[in-house]
Every structure is written in structure tokens, then in C-alpha cells.
Amino acid sequence: MTMQNTAPISIARQGAESVFATNKVIRNTYMLLSMTLLFAAATAAASVAMKLPHPGLIITLVGYFGLLFATAKLRNSGWGIVSVFALTGFMGYTLGPIVSHYLGLPNGGQTVMMAMAGTAAIFLGLSGYALTTRKDFSFMGGFLMVGILLAFLAGLAAIFFEIPALSLTVSAAFVLLMSGLILYETSNIIHGGETNYVMATVTLFVTIFNLFTSLLQLLGFMNSSD
């Protein structure tokens, strides 16, 4: 067989291997994401049941970024899985007091359920759209990075200077930014930009977490205004 005859076969084989690798990353990502969401929900429920206090902004940020750094360092080893559960479990614990606060408000249970339903609908709808259409949303990367950084800094300013209007604006911005990040990260996995399912899971989990808390704040404000 000549070189010209074997070239198409080699290209086809490489293409098939690439598709198989991508499908494996997608499968592992959504499997791990499902487990971490259940684990975080369990730690949040335990936090609510035991009425644990919120650890505070500094401990939350140190714990989050510390565990995020550890996960990134360990992403290619089995300890990366342990680190993912430590990170998502910690985030679930910090979520518990927030949920407790809203449950204590009038129509609080309805507010929490609406935020959960909205988060699920947005995530499933946008990720399903990206998976089925296989569109490339990599062009959104720079915009999302700048937008998230600015929204994060504005959120800190709203906390320190106690500006409710700015806090609501940040929450609305995060809903839009996290929606864009779902499209971007799902597309990134599909097109081979993200090949590590541990980091893909962390990105999508943090996206869902921020989307839920942002919707919770917006819906809580609207219910309190009724």
C-alpha cells in the first residue's frame, strides 16, 4: 500500500480517536459533576439542619481559592478527585447559611425552589444547546474573563460599602456571565480546548453555584418587594 493510500486512513483514525477522547471527557465531566452536586447539596443540607454560621468572607475566599489551587495542582492525579470533593463540599457548607437566611423569610421556601428550578433550566438548556449544535463559543473567553473579574470586584465593593443596589446589579450581571460561561466551557470541552475532566467539572460546578446564589438574591429581593 502506498503512502498516498494510507494517509486518508491515518487521518480518519486520528479523527476517530479525537472524537472518542472528547466524548470520554464529556462523560467523565458530567458524571463527576453530578456526584459533586449531590455531595454539595448534602453538605448544604447538613449546614442548614445544624444551623451553622457562615464562615465569613475572608475564610470563604481563602478556603475557596486555596482548594481551587490545590485542585489545579492535583488535577492529573487521583488526589485531584479528593480535592474536587473537598472544594465542592466546602462550597456546599458556605451555601447552607445563605439558604437558611432565605428560608427564614416570607415565602422563603418558594424562593429557594424557584432559584433551584431556574438554575437547572438555564444550565440544562444552555449546555444542551452547546452539545447538540456543537457551535464554537471560544470567542467569548476574553469578554467573560474581564466581565467576571469586574463583577467580582464590584461584588466585594458592594459588601464592604453596603450598597444593596450595586449588589443586585452584580447578581444580575453574574446571571448573564454564568450563562455565557456555560456555553463557553461546554464548547471548550466539545472542541478539545479542555481535556481535563477534573478542571471542567470545577468550572461548571462554580458556574452553577454562582448562578444559583445570584438567582436566589434576585428572587429574594423581588419577593421581599411584593
The amino acid at 78: G
The pLDDT value given to residue 20? 54
Nearest CA to 146 out of 105, 191, 181, 97 is that of 181
Could you give the CA distance from residue 160 to residue 47 in angstroms, rounded to a whole number?
25
Residue where the block lists cell 478527585: 81
Mean per-residue pLDDT over the chain, rounded: 90
The pLDDT value given to residue 168? 93
Please compute the mean of the pLDDT values over residues 123-135 and round it to a whole number: 94
Give CA torsion, residues 52, 162, 210, 175, to 10 deg. Answer: 150
Q: What is the pLDDT of residues 27-49, one digit of tens each?
A: 999 999 999 999 999 999 999 99
The pLDDT value given to residue 11? 44
The pLDDT value given to residue 16? 45
pLDDT score of 132 more than 90: yes
By the 8 A CB rule, do 112 and 102 touch? Answer: yes
Please compute the mean of the pLDDT values over residues 60-72 and round it to a whole number: 96
The pLDDT value given to residue 4? 53
Could you give the CA distance from residue 183 to residue 19 in angstroms, rounded to a whole number?
19
Please compute the mean of the pLDDT values over residues 166-182 and round it to a whole number: 95
The pLDDT value given to residue 21? 63
The pLDDT value given to residue 22? 77
More confident call, 4 vs 47 = 47
Q: What is the pTM of this model?
A: 0.89
Please compute the mean of the pLDDT values over residues 66-86 and round it to a whole number: 95
Q: What does each C-alpha distance from 151 to 144, 183, 209 come to in angstroms?
A: 10, 19, 15
pLDDT score of 50 more than 80: yes
The pLDDT value given to residue 192? 84
The pLDDT value given to residue 135? 93
The pLDDT value given to residue 193? 86
Output the nine-digit C-alpha cell for 123. Answer: 444550565
Give CA torsion, residues 62, 175, 202, 147, to 10 deg. Answer: -70
pLDDT score of 224 more than 90: no
Output the nine-digit C-alpha cell for 110. Answer: 418558594
**Domain extents for the chain?**
19-225
Half-sphere exposure of 178 (CA within 13 A, CB side): 27
Output the nine-digit C-alpha cell for 170. Answer: 452584580
> Buried b vs exposed e over 92-116: b needs ≥16 C-beta within 10 Å?
bbbbbbbbbebeeeeebeebbebbe
